[in-house]
Amino acid sequence: MPAFFSEKLKQDKNALSELEISGIRDFNERERIRLSSNLPLVELGIDVLELDEEEARQLMDNLELIQLGIDVLELNKSEAKKLRDNIDLVKKGIEVLDYTQDELDNLRSRSAFYPTF
């Protein structure tokens, strides 16, 4: 294993131990690696060991949406991408999935003149 990866794994394990997860010593090495590789999800309180690899990847790819309270596992890939691509409007409370991209671009351009739209 290249030095970079072993150092990254060591850092992730240290960060994981700082979270004081009960029973962490009982986890096997594979479980610890899985937790440390999904550390941002663990920090949000998500039990990554209950997820399959695809679900964990989907959550990691959409971390900012999760932080906004969006259940990304209920979205298909194109919906998640549309939300990520328009995160500025999502943060303003716009129901992005209800609009075409042209309508969203129009909303965005109008917001330059009317920031509260």
pLDDT at 52: 95
CA dihedral over 33, 38, 42, 45, signed as positive or negative: negative
CA–chain centroid gap for 92, Å, is: 19
Residue ranges for the chain with pLDDT beneath 50: none
What pLDDT digit, counting tens, does each position of 43-71 carry? Answer: 898 999 999 999 999 999 999 999 999 99
pLDDT at 20: 66
- The tokens for 8 are 């990254």
Q: From its phi and psi, is residue 75 left (phi > 0), alpha (psi between -120 and 50) or beta? A: beta
pLDDT at 84: 97
pLDDT at 36: 85
Q: Which amino acid, residue 1?
A: M
